[in-house]
Chain A
Amino acid sequence: MRLAPFRILLGLFCLLVAVWLVMPTLVIIPMSFNEKKSLAFPPSGFSWQWYENFFTNPDWLTSFFNSLRVAGLVAVAATLIGTLAALGLSRMKHSGAGLLRAILITPMIVPGVVLAIGIYAVYLDYHLVGTTTGFVIAHTMLAIPFVIIAVSASLEVFDVRLETAAASLGADRFTAFRTVTLPLIAPGILSGLLFAFVTSFDEIIIALFITSPYLKTLPVQIFTSITRDADPTVTAVGTIIFIATTLVISAGLIISSKSTRG
């Protein structure tokens, strides 16, 4: 009972932290229905004009589809390469595995701008600036660590003896992998796929360097429209992304809860 004031204080403090965490996401939504072309809060009036602008302005739509295309390709490539790497790492017995894993994860900690100027320099030489190939290569490299981490996590709880059991029942290695290992680590692969998609879809620093007037991704379009003129269309885009993510995550939760129950 003596601890009650401490408990209340703790609760209040954490409420503040939670508000701090969530507020930037939530403030975007009312702003997107603003009637005036301003970023002053609270917004005044109600209108769909910024959504209309997003769906009719070719600048916004093209960059959105560019991002979808790049992120889709990156998700597939990074998931394939990353899953292979995670499988290899989990089967390595000697101490090299730890070092190799550390090396493969470095893209997560190398400062973005340093990586960006390096990639920009190389891409200028190889004419990859402003190309889908260029974007996909750079983003796949950034996304692979996330796939490796996600797949490794599910491989860690995977019982290798299940594969041995399948082999003892006459399955060859590939069949054992396809019918036993793969379904069991599928959740890890799926979350790796999602992480890879989001990494690419959201990547801005390298994109700002290797972009060209012919190939802009959505974050680049958002950044330039924020810095050039405070265009409230950005808030509409943010709201759309927020709703889309919420739908995807809810769907994922429902599917995973069904599959664990079944």
Chain B
Amino acid sequence: MSQTSHTLAAGGDNPRPAGGVQGPQRRLRLAAYPSLLAMPALLLLIAAMGYPLLTVTLRSFSDPAWGMQNYVWFFSTPVNVTVLWRTFSIAAWVTIVCVIAAYPYAYLMTAVGPRMRLVLILCVLVPFWVSGVVRTLAWVILLQDSGIINSLIRLLGFDSVKLIRTQTGVVIGMAQVLLPFMILPLYSVMRGIDLRLVQAARSLGARPSLAFLQIYLPLSLPGVFAGAIIVFILSLGFYITPALLGGPRSTMLSTLVQSQVLSLLNWGRGGAMGVVLLVATFMLLALAAPLMRQRHKQASRS
């Protein structure tokens, strides 16, 4: 670190001799190039993320031979296309469930007193207190055919529902893991909404539902977008929850990647699937970026 800045100091437009660069002057140089402080992080990122992702991409084009055959294989095999489609549809379901559950919850967080708010926030944070894998096991306990949820359903007089090893079970488990990522951005946006605007609409004769639809909802939408994008993107890459809660009919793309590489040792095909997943993620991010920027602008205006 100091070596780099020293070289820079010596090579740059340094009016004084670079000889005994000590103390203040060296630090002055470092202060002139604050991005140098981020270099260790960037180098580690290139070594531990950039290089591995490059390797995956290269192998998807070169293993076993150069060309597009792995991608042709991926998109021409019905099973893969089904799984790709299912991955997106599960992610969409998880996002919808999260929005529906988080919106009233985040609203209540802004509407109650500080003590109650603390309780609500604790409920959001408690899921993080046990290890993620343990939490998935808890879902196995809850969702299994003899589990609590099915006992409750039977107690209410209905037939038991198959939850474990179904897509419904996977969505319930994943949405619970991802709900905090929806609640927290929503809460931070809703907290900034000036409730007097809603009162003003009411005083001008709007019914509560109209005041909500025309005033509150549009103002809270940036939070919904931000949370939905995070939840959707994180869902696409889920691996553990579908692997433990799902059955063969709820396999997601991550599981296919894993089995191609670890079980079949087919790096080319596994790599191609990985690249598809990666490209989908970044395309979504690129599409979402303008919406996110919008949010920033709005936030800075208020």
Contacts and interface: CB of A to CB of B under 8 A. Distances in A.
B16 to A, nearest CB: 17
B281 A122 contact: no
Given A104-B45, A115-B53, A110 B133 contact: no
A141 B281 CA distance: 19
B51 interface: yes
B208 A3 contact: yes
A205 B239 CA distance: 8
Interface in B216-234: 233-234
A183 interface: no
Interface stretch (A44-52, A53-61, A82-90, A184-192): A82-90
B204 interface: no
Interface stretch (B7-15, B70-78, B137-145, B188-196): B137-145
B64 interface: no
Given A107-B49, A204-B133, A20 B101 contact: yes
B271 interface: yes
A122 B55 contact: yes
Nearest to B37: A88
Given A88-B38, A204-B133, A121 B139 contact: no
Interface in A193-245: 198, 201-202, 204-205, 209, 218-219, 222-223, 226-227, 234-235, 237-238, 241-242, 245
A202 B131 contact: yes
A14 B135 contact: no
Contacts of B49: 106-107, 110, 115, 118, 141
B270 to A, nearest CB: 6
A104 B37 CA distance: 13
Given A14-B108, A24-B139, A88-B36, A117 B56 contact: yes
A24 B142 contact: yes
If over half of A's interface residues share one DSSP class (helix, strand or loop), that class is named, otherwise mixed; here it is helix
Contacts of A256: none
A84 B41 contact: yes
Contacts of A113: 237, 239, 254, 257-258, 274, 277
Contact of B52 (A17, A41, A119): A119
Chain A contact-residue range equals 35 or more
A234 B133 CA distance: 9
A140 interface: yes
B44 A140 contact: yes
Interface string B24-60: 1001000100111111111011011101111110010
Contacts of A103: 42, 45
A90 B42 CA distance: 15
B264 interface: no
B254 A24 contact: no
Nearest to B278: A114
A91 B120 CA distance: 36
A114 B35 contact: no
Interface of A: 3, 6, 10-11, 13-14, 17-18, 20-25, 27-28, 31, 39-41, 81-82, 84-85, 87-92, 96-97, 100, 103-104, 106-107, 109-122, 137-138, 140-141, 144, 148, 172-174, 198, 201-202, 204-205, 209, 218-219, 222-223, 226-227, 234-235, 237-238, 241-242, 245-246, 249
